[in-house]
Structure 1
Amino acid sequence: MNGQNNEAVFSLESANLKFGNGAFEELGWELNRLGLKKPLLFADPRLRSLGIIDRAAEILARAGIPITVYDRISVEPTIDSFGEAARFAAAMRPDCFIALGGGSTIDTAKVANLISTHGGEIIDYVNPPVGGGRKPQSPLAPLIAIPTTSGSGSEATTVAILDIPELKIKTGISHRYLRPALAIVDPELARSTPPAVTASCGLDVVCHAVESYISKPFDARPKPATPDDRPPYQGSNPIADIWSLKAIEFGGQFLRRAVKSGNDLEARGTMMLGATMAGIGFGTAGVHIPHACAYPLAGLKHKYRAEGYETTHNFIPHGFSVIVTAPAAFRYTFDAAPEKHIKAAELLRGASIADPGPDSLPSALIDLMRDVGAPSGIAALGYEEADIPALVEGALKQQRLLVGAPKPIDAKGIDSIFRASFANW
């Protein structure tokens, strides 16, 4: 422990998890077990053409449960798309929510559940200093999350991420009540995910896990005034580290294979499990510098055309916006926890490193990025040197994340990370 005024307690909360090929077929049984009879299904519209939405309806029909479907999900959702979903949910008054899709779908269901249950404006709940940081005073309706991608880990976390276009920034809403009651993770649902989407999602998994593993230790943080003031992102701790380390290992072993073939169910399934495990890890420990930099990268400009996503607008997939600054960020944080950086690098490479040092983890990440077809840096995303001040300003607004970095960082440090990230190779 690092002082009597520092935190001495950490907590681990997670969604109940059901994992395995065919787990989706048990959805009706789960709703009946929980006594839920009026679900509202939030679904990625792409899943309709694949027959997966109809399959969900059939599974629930066999259980005697009718459903209403909401599929107006925006890729990388905005405050407006969240608001539309919340109004629909408020009109339907369901007794539970089901989210079938990627992180955008699960996050949309989280916020629709929040607003339809407790009312208010979405900006009231957005994390400060962007929003009001309002806390829901009682639990929400049960949410069952069924991911179809291997990335966000939203099925296990307390966070929903949104874009606020008028502020040119992405930010989030975070509270323990947003965490799903149950995650059903079925590798067969990830078969149809395109390679570029698999790559972005998988790099998000890796970054979640590495950031949480090397985050500021929980007992190096100030003690909260009350347990209610303890943040969801508490800092690294022995339990969260277990989940994060395994997710890093899975990323190093299986992401390249998952990108290469949709029929490699071992690789796709392991990355799905890794996403959930990383979600449990960072949902407790937190993420920091790469994610703080990612939000202005995703919100300030919309020049990048993402492959593999069925959308007509330009946007930067979240995993790519996160990973491009990660090598520079981890060079910056190396001296705060050298042994953790080296351990993460060894897990990504699947081997010990002969001459470990500050570049061990960045170089392992860069090799993985290149192998799965990620953009080389922020220049490839449409950014120029003149954009750096605005990017720094946007990252500094993410204080909820930056306080979890293993060493302090200010505007000068963030500026140097963006400048070092124009091209990683």
Structure 2
Amino acid sequence: MGVNRVCIVTDQVVGQLPGMSALLNSVNHENITYSVYDSVRTEPTDTSFMDVIRFAKEGQFDAFVAFGGGSVIDSCKAANLYSSNVNADFFDYVDAPIGRGMNVTHTLKPLIAIPTTAGTGSETTGLAVFDYEANAAKTVIRSRAITPLIGIIDPFNVMSMPTSVATYTGFDVLCHALESYTTVPYNERRPRPLNPRDRPTYQGSNPVSDVWARHALNIAAKYFRRAVKDNDDTEARSQMQLASCFAGIGFGCAGVHLCHALSYPISGKVKTFRPKDYQVDYPLVPHGLSVVITAPAVFHFTSSACPDRHLEAAQILGADTTNVRREDAGRVLSDTLRQFMYDLGIEDGLEALGYTTADIPALVQRTVPQVRRYRSVVLSTVIPEFRYAIMY
């Protein structure tokens, strides 16, 4: 690429993995000047984004490398975006209504993403997600311009994932595929701006995204449990990393819907929950957990919009759909997901994360601003999903 000064973004845990040594050996071999930022926060916030942005602006880099999970890759995307336009206000590119949702019109530097988890698919997408601390909810920077130039998918980098990380990130894969497959079809999306620049990143389910979603579901059906149960199962870990990438390609253009919209306040309003195997000193609901905890309730609710797709997804995931009525599609897919969650030890509903029914109004209030392709979400429909999800 002809670059001379590279910003390498990671976190303090991942930065100690053998893959990081391989990365540094590579840039040293090529005599490339680099600086390492290793203070990425797991589940980043606007504050942590601004810190890595400051580092990138001061370094005046001409390329970026992200080595880590979704938090690292998303933080690196933000660093690239704002250091390439030093005059931009932070909220210029943050989604409305929190930010201004402006189009990115300037040229960014090359970004190489090297994922170390099998879940987010962030190496394939134009999204950077963070907790907006003032609102106690997640929001997103969304633009095709921040999509990494290259993603290096190396199974060696996911073999060290602890069991709980493999579990939660794997459920993120599952929900990416399920949501993109059942979201509003591209030819039913409104409005439809004539100028491609004005069209949203999420286009709705379409023939191309459907291929990726189904393929990711097939892989997860075969390998997800294996990847969690045996940390040394190289084949299963490798396949789940591919499923993460494939699902990322699918949802990166189709979009996701209620599971992810509901997940943002679940993560943002965390009280005391601390997941096993996560080396953090603050309360944290991992993204994949916050997404899947409402999934049985969500797909029971959304099934009436496209029952055949819900049935097909359940069948791919191992359910016997012989003679199942279309009106029972949501129940079947929900039961199938519950079995996955039970088998892999997912916490027992929102109560296990520290929430009660008294928290529902605040969770709803912070869900509604999340613009997703399931456009019919209003207060009266979101409230039952949270109540149902209190115990999955």
Structures share fold, TM-score greater than 0.5: yes
Matches within 5 A, 1:164-203: 164-203=132-171
How do 1:219-258 residues align onto structure 2 when only pairs under 5 Å count?
A: 219-222=187-190, 223-258=192-227
Q: CA deviation at 1:136?
A: 1.7
**Which is bigger in relative contact order (C-alpha 8 A, separation at least 6)?**
1
Between 1:371-380 and 1:108-117, the stretch displaced more is 371-380
**Aligned partner of residue 212 in structure 2, secondary structure:** helix
Amino acid aligned to 2:306: A
Identity percentage of aligned residues: 39
Tell me how far apart the structure 2 counterparts of residues 351 and 35 of structure 1 sit (CA, whole Å). Answer: 55
The DSSP-based 3-state class of the residue aligned with 1:39 is: strand
Q: Does 1:67 align with 2:34?
A: yes
Superposed CA deviations along residues 62-99 of structure 1, whole A, max 9, x for unmatched, are 23323211101100000000001001001111111000
Q: 2:368 aligns with which of 377, 390, 396?
A: 396
Give me the whole-angstrom Cα distance separating, in 2, the residues matched to 1:421 and 1:116: 40
**1:104 aligns with one of 42, 55, 71:** 71
* Paired position in structure 1 for 2:172: 204
CA distance in 2, matches of 1:54, 1:247: 31
SS at match of 2:101: coil
CA distance in 2: counterparts of 1:114 and 1:412, whole angstroms: 37
Q: Aligned to 1:185, what secondary structure does the other structure show?
A: coil
Range 128-137 or range 100-109, more displaced: 128-137
Mapped to 2, the partners of 1:201 and 1:226 lie a distance apart of 36
Query: 2:246 is matched with which residue?
Result: 277
Is 2:317 the partner of 1:348? yes
Contact 2:84 2:106 in 1 (8 A): no
How far, CA to CA, are the matches of 1:385 and 1:93 in structure 2?
49
Corresponding residue number in structure 2 for 1:368: 340
Question: Are 2:389 and 1:421 aligned?
Answer: yes
Aligned-pair distance for 1:231? 0.5
The Cα shift of 1:265 comes to 1.1
Letter in 1 for 2:28: A
* Match of residue 355, structure 2, among 370, 383, 386: 383
Q: What residue number does 2:124 align with?
A: 156
Q: In structure 1, how many angstroms separate the alpha carbons of the residues matched to 2:143 and 2:222?
A: 32
| TM-score, scaled to structure 1 | 0.89
Q: Which moved more, 1:380-389 or 1:122-131?
A: 122-131
Of the three residues 83, 88, 98, the one matched with 1:130 is: 98
* Residues paired across the two proteins, number: 387
Residue 353 (structure 1) shift? 4.6
In the aligned structure 1, how far is the partner of 2:90 from the partner of 2:300?
36
CA contact (8 A) 1:157 1:279 kept: yes
Q: Is the 1:100–1:146 Cα contact (8 Å) retained in structure 2?
A: yes
Normalised to the residue count of structure 2, the TM-score between the two structures is 0.96
CA RMSD of aligned residues (A): 1.3
Shift of 1:35: 2.3
Amino acid at match of 2:121: G
Q: Aligned AA for 1:141?
A: K
Q: Are residue 318 (structure 1) and residue 287 (structure 2) matched?
A: yes
Paired residues of 2:319 and 2:336 also in contact (CA < 8 A): no
Distance 1:288 1:129, change over 3 A: same
Q: Structure 1 residues 166, 104: CA separation in 2 closer, same or farther (over 3 Å shift)?
A: same
Deviation at 1:131, TM superposition (A): 1.0
Deviation at 1:44, TM superposition (A): 2.4
Residue of structure 1 aligned with 2:13, choices 46, 66, 75: 46
How many Å separate the matches in 2 of 1:48 and 1:392?
37
Secondary structure of the 1:364 match is helix
- Given that residues 302 and 316 in structure 1 are in contact (C-alpha distance below 8 angstroms), is that contact kept between their aligned partners in structure 2? no
Report which stretch shifted further, 56-65 or 207-216.
56-65
- 1:64 alignment partner AA: N
* Equivalent residue, structure 1, for 2:2: 35
How big is the shift at 1:350? 6.8
Give CA-to-partner distance per residue, 1:23-61, whole Å, 9 cap, x none: xxxxxxxxxxx2223211101221233333222111222
Distance 1:104 1:332 in 2: 30
Q: Which residue of 2 aligns with 1:17?
A: none
Structure 1 stretch displaced more, 277-286 or 132-141? 132-141
- Equivalence for 1:83: 50
Q: Which runs of 4+ in 1 moved over 6 A?
A: none
Q: After superposition, what is the alpha-carbon deviation per residue over 1:139-180, rounded to whole angstroms, capped at 9, x for unaligned?
A: 311110000000111000010000012211111000010100
Q: Which moved more, 1:193-202 or 1:221-230?
A: 221-230
Equivalent residue in structure 1 for 2:258, among 275, 285, 289:
289
Aligned residue identity for 1:121:
D
Letter of the 1:172 partner, please give it: V
Distance 1:96 1:198 in 2: 30
Which residue in the other structure is 2:267 paired with?
A: 298
Q: How far apart, in 2, do the equivalents of 1:155 and 1:316 lie?
A: 22
**Structure 1 unpaired stretches of 5+:** 1-33
Provide the C-alpha distance between the structure 2 equivalents of 1:198 and 1:62, rounded to a whole number of angstroms. Answer: 32
- Alpha-carbon contact 1:148-1:189 (below 8 Å) kept: yes
